[in-house]
């Protein structure tokens, strides 16, 4: 067979690559090497979940494309190339209707896991062959409204961060109050902590679940909606606020470390602080610190955690 014009081979899984035991032949993996040698791409396409497909093709998972869940998601090397979603408000309409169908079970497919709300053992035994990553939940409606839960979770990160910042300026741990030798008109690092505290308070308000609200629209055709778009917008705002809160913590923590000199932290932390100090200097005199906070935020947003500094 002349393969010179072939650039892509696509195959189904069940009944094609998989035998009756759900296994892939060793011969297939030999063929994949031949395709690779001829610069021919291979794609596994199936109604199975991505994780289930990869489990079967683990040894070549980094070399192939995967079209999973009947085209619902396309990935390569765990990178999402295409994803088709159902709008949350449509899911909120569908789920109650599907629950009324006798002897059926709902599978809600997400990009990282599938969700089911049945504990039927026979169904789960069959289901596990096709869905390797799944969670059993009490109510699928809560998963549809997961943006609301994410808002609360991210907001809590900021809450914890601000408490650490407060402990740094409060005169504990043999550190000077407000992290400057002579707190003056601007009270040292008190105002940055105020800023973090106000952002935390704002996030608590933004974290109120959007899904508790609904309003009839389209002349009654849409009588219950998830408000998912509103929730996503608020989630973005919360995330931006948390970046500022974490930046303020970094600003405070770096200042505190200077007061511990000549003691030093780990080599990795000291290297990180040295890099940070190339952008934001130690504050020796009381001053307005908006410039330093903004510079810290720029550093925070541009720093790549995968840089060699943190490579083990």
Active site residue 298: no
Nearest to 72 by CA among 113, 110, 126: 110
Q: How far apart are CA 294 and CA 150, in angstroms?
A: 26
Backbone angles phi, psi at 61, to 5 degrees: -60, -30
In the sheet that holds 41-45, the strands lie side by side as: 8-11, 41-45, 65-68, 73-76, 79-83
Q: Where are the alpha helices (DSSP H) in the chain?
A: 26-37, 50-56, 88-99, 121-127, 140-144, 146-169, 190-206, 228-259, 267-277, 290-302
**Total residue count of the chain as it appears in this document:** 312
| Cα separation values, 91 from 12, 116, 223, 228, 272, Å | 28, 14, 13, 11, 46
Q: Which residue's structure tokens are 């030999």?
A: 30
Candidate list 12, 14, 55, 286, residue with the active-site label = 12
What positions carry a catalytic annotation?
12
């Amino acid at each position: 067979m002349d393969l010179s014009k072939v650039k892509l081979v696509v195959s189904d899984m069940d009944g094609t690559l998989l035998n009756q035991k759900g296994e892939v032949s060793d011969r297939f993996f030999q063929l994949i090497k031949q395709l690779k040698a001829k610069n021919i791409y291979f794609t596994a396409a199936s109604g199975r979940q991505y994780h289930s497909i990869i489990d079967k093709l683990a040894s070549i998972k980094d070399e192939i494309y995967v079209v999973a869940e009947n085209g619902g998601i396309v990935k390569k090397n765990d990178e999402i190339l295409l994803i088709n979603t159902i709008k949350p408000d449509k899911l909120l309409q569908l789920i109650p209707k599907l629950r009324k169908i006798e002897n059926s079970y709902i599978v809600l497919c997400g990009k990282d896991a599938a969700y089911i709300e049945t504990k039927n053992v026979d169904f789960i035994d069959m289901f596990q062959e096709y869905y390797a990553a799944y969670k059993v939940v009490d109510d699928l409606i809560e998963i549809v409204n997961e943006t609301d839960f994410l808002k609360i979770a991210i907001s809590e990160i900021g809450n914890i961060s601000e408490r650490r910042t407060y402990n740094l300026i409060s005169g504990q741990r043999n550190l000077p109050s407000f992290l400057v030798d002579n707190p003056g008109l601007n009270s040292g690092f008190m105002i940055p902590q105020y800023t973090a505290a106000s952002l935390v308070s704002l996030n608590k308000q933004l974290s109120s679940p959007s899904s508790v609200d609904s309003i009839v629209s389209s002349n009654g055709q849409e009588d219950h909606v998830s408000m998912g778009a509103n929730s996503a917008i608020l989630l973005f705002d919360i995330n931006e606020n948390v970046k500022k809160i974490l930046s303020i913590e970094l600003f405070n923590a770096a200042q505190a470390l200077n007061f511990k000199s000549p003691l030093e932290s780990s080599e990795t932390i000291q290297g990180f602080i040295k890099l940070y100090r190339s952008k934001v200097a130690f504050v020796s005199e009381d001053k307005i610190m908006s410039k330093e906070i903004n510079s810290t935020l720029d550093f925070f947003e541009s720093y790549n955690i995968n840089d060699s500094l943190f490579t083990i």
